[in-house]
Structure 1
Amino acid sequence: MQHAHYLAYNPGITSKEGGLPGLSVLKNVVSSINLYSIIAVVGALAISALVWAWGHHSGGHQAEANGKKGTVVAAGCALLLRAANGIVAFFSAMGTQVH
């Protein structure tokens, strides 16, 4: 007798538009939050780059290191914010593939 081994139980629930009212409003709110976040990251990137440059030219090694760290973090945030929709779409599509 051969048994099938499953890694997890699939309850059969999928994403579907039109189930509840307000989906378009929620999409607009999330899109606006994403836009404001990207604008904030641009500001953080500019400030971090200024701190990096100021630390470098004034000999402030701690300021230079913090500016570098802030620049890298802000650039990573910008990348993730811009790619968030694609990342979620990619991984949610992985669960729908049949082997």
Structure 2
Amino acid sequence: MIDIPPNSSGLPGIAALRTVVGAVMTVGLILAVLALIVSAVVWAYGANSSNPHLAGRGKVGVLVSCGAAIVCGASVALVNFFWGVGQSV
């Protein structure tokens, strides 16, 4: 039986890589908020101008931006969950 855990100090630059990944997650969340705001404005404009296509696009944008925020926020938990699943195989 072989047991090889992740090694967080095996290579130089791991701490910097963690910092970069955290920054990218922050940028992703900021862009999700921006997309949510823009999509809500498009939805409102489409609803007020009697343009169902534009309103529908705004609704889809709101859902997609919320989904993107969920994925950004849950990415670490998802990877840890599937790491645990992989370890139990």
* TM-score, normalization by structure 2: 0.91
Match of 2:88 among 70, 85, 97: 97
Moved over 6 A (4+): none
Correspondence for 2:45? 54
Correspondence for 2:13? 22
Provide the rounded CA distance (Å) in 2 between the counterparts of 1:45 and 1:68: 10
Per-residue displacement from partner, 1:27-74 (whole Å, max 9, x unpaired)?
Answer: 000100110110011000000011001101110111101101111100
Bigger radius of gyration among the two: 1
Q: CA RMSD in A?
A: 1.6
Provide the rounded CA distance (Å) in 2 between the counterparts of 1:67 and 1:18: 46
Quote the sequence identity (%): 35
Provide the rounded CA distance (Å) in 1 between the counterparts of 2:40 and 2:46: 10
Match of 1:75 among 50, 66, 80: 66
1:12, distance to aligned residue in structure 2 (A): 6.4
Figure out how many residues of one structure are paired with residues of the other and give that number: 88
1:16, distance to aligned residue in structure 2 (A): 1.6
* TM-score, normalization by structure 1: 0.82
Ranges in structure 2 where 5+ consecutive residues have no aligned partner: none
User: Whose relative contact order is higher, 1 or 2, with alpha carbons under 8 Å and at least 6 apart?
Assistant: 2
1:13, distance to aligned residue in structure 2 (A): 5.3
